[in-house]
Amino acid sequence: MRIAIVGAGIIGVTTAYELSVEGHKVTVFERRAGVAAETSFANAGLVAPGYVTPWAAPGMPGKVLRHLFSRHAPVRLHPNLDLRWGLAWWRACRPESHQANRLRMQRLAFFSRDRLQDVTRHLRLEYEHRAGYLVLLRNRKDLAMVESGLATLTTLGTRFERFDAARCRDVEPGLCADTELHAGIYLPDDEVGNCRQFAMLLRKQAERIGARFRFNTTVERLEPAPKPRLIVRRAPHAPSTRTAGASADESAESWPDTQPLVPDAAPEEFDAVVLCSALGAVPLLRPLGLHLPLQAVYGYSITAPLRREDDPTFGPRSALMDERYKVAISRIGTRIRVAGSAELGGSPTEHHPGALATLHKVLNDWFPGTARMSQAQTWKGARPMLPDGPPVLGASGLPGIWVNLGHGSSGWALACGSARVVADAMAGRPSPIDTEGLGLERLRG
């Protein structure tokens, strides 16, 4: 089949690869100048299936309200938050809904981690990634807060170890000795990886088997049909996606477009269209009567070179999570990345000073003086989240239109599995995992 994919973030690139492997003629349309240029650009990079969970959880509304006036709140509400989305989120916080959605997400996450590792081994992809994930618990209260989650990990058969403070510092010797540390949870099978670098390498592999990428090209309209059509427009002056502080291997300029570009709006016909364009899918689907309740939940990160790049004990060895502040600290090659915050609503261009202050605080608490902050790259990304948590994968109900949307803050952790599930659905094959609750019918019910 001739298949169009809209969006070249980590979801679109993995979908392009899986469908190209199937032998389809794939064309990817992306409004930016390269792959993984928005939400996938500088995320935390965590692949930790046991910790993939809906934001809609019992007790979460109360926590959000208590954090409204907190200086270092892990969750912030913006006045422009869609109230209908907020109401649906509140309803999904009921225990039975949360449990069902958590299991849906974790089934997909464990499958996705296996698929990521299979693809990496098969293609011999060499990108920045490290094994191991340590959750830091500052005091007994933090430990008590994670006990229910540990019970779920046990049920799922996830390997983890409880560490005292001394053992945490054996695993991560760069941790500051002056910061209070009560215990830790270590997950040896989880990992951290450079999402953008992986996406760029996988794009190259997809091209080698026939995929074509059309950058600086906006899809303006969908026309559902047995042979669906896209109306696309090429940007007249396309800006580079190279961002200050990005390493050379993260530049979107590494590979050019693989197909001549159309300068004016023009219709193009395909056998199927897959929407992987995150929040950009909403205005494409709305005129067709499909109102997808996606909300931007913004996250922040700061990435800076390590002062001693060749010393594996200086700074983090792999990935850590400060459980109190919900902030991740990771080693990405010779750089340190600190990422976190959940800003519900807001603007992609306005950086909340409190969110950035929290990232700086957590970095300084655990690894003071390790980064060249004068060379730091600050990033804010819009994570497309559905109110109940899981993404929507598969048929849209519109002729010829498929979806792979709504992965929230777990896009990197869910990408490879979601792409495989969608490819199998389009081929009419049974899914390798139980996909109950991962289709659009969940939102209609």
The more confidently predicted of residues 143 and 254 is: 143
The predicted model gives 339-348 an average pLDDT of: 86
Q: Averaging pLDDT over each range in 146-155, 264-273, 364-373, which range is the top one?
A: 364-373
Residues of the chain with CATH 3.50.50.60: 2-41+196-292+389-444
Query: Does 398 have pLDDT greater than 70?
Result: yes
Question: Which value, to the nearest 10 degrees, does the dihedral of the CA atoms of residues 118, 124, 125, 131 take?
Answer: 60
Note the pLDDT of residue 241. Answer: 39
Q: How confident is the model at residue 72 (pLDDT cuts 50, 70, 90)?
A: confident
Q: How confident is the model at residue 240 (pLDDT cuts 50, 70, 90)?
A: very low
Q: How confident is the model at residue 285 (pLDDT cuts 50, 70, 90)?
A: very high
pTM of the full predicted structure? Answer: 0.91
The predicted model gives 191-213 an average pLDDT of: 97
51-95+127-191+294-385 adopts what CATH topology?
A: D-Amino Acid Oxidase; Chain A, domain 2 (3.30.9)
> CA dist 327 to 6, 200, 208, 306, 361, Å?
31, 26, 38, 18, 10
For 220-231, write each residue's pLDDT tens digit.
Answer: 999 999 999 999
3-state secondary structure of 156: helix
Reply yes or no on domain 2-41+196-292+389-444 having CATH 3.30.380.10.
Answer: no
For 27-43, write each residue's pLDDT tens digit.
Answer: 999 999 999 999 999 99
Q: How confident is the model at residue 313 (pLDDT cuts 50, 70, 90)?
A: confident
Taking a C-beta distance cutoff of 8 angstroms, is the pair 136, 366 a contact?
Answer: yes
Note the pLDDT of residue 261. Answer: 52
Structure tokens at 297: 């939940």
Taking a C-beta distance cutoff of 8 angstroms, is the pair 441, 119 a contact?
Answer: no
**Which of 108-112, 177-181, 264-268, 412-416 is predicted with the least confidence, judged by mean pLDDT?**
264-268
d(CA 227, CA 268): 10
The DSSP annotation for 5-71 comes to: EE--SHHHHHHHHHHHHTT-EEEEE-SSSSTT-STTSS---EE-GGG---S--TTHHHHHHHGGG-T
Query: Does 249 have pLDDT greater than 50?
Result: no
Mean pLDDT of the chain, nearest integer: 90
Question: Which value, to the nearest 10 degrees, does the dihedral of the CA atoms of residues 145, 150, 156, 161 take?
Answer: 150
Percentage above 90 pLDDT, the chain: 76
Query: Does 17 have pLDDT greater than 70?
Result: yes
Residues of the chain with CATH 3.30.9.10: 51-95+127-191+294-385
Q: How confident is the model at residue 73 (pLDDT cuts 50, 70, 90)?
A: confident
**Which of 181-195, 259-273, 284-298, 383-397 is predicted with the least confidence, judged by mean pLDDT?**
259-273
Percentage above 70 pLDDT, the chain: 93
Taking a C-beta distance cutoff of 8 angstroms, is the pair 345, 83 a contact?
Answer: no
Note the pLDDT of residue 253. Answer: 41
Q: How confident is the model at residue 214 (pLDDT cuts 50, 70, 90)?
A: very high
The predicted model gives 304-310 an average pLDDT of: 88
Note the pLDDT of residue 344. Answer: 84
Burial label, 394 (beta-carbon count in 10 A; 0-12, 13-18, 19+): buried
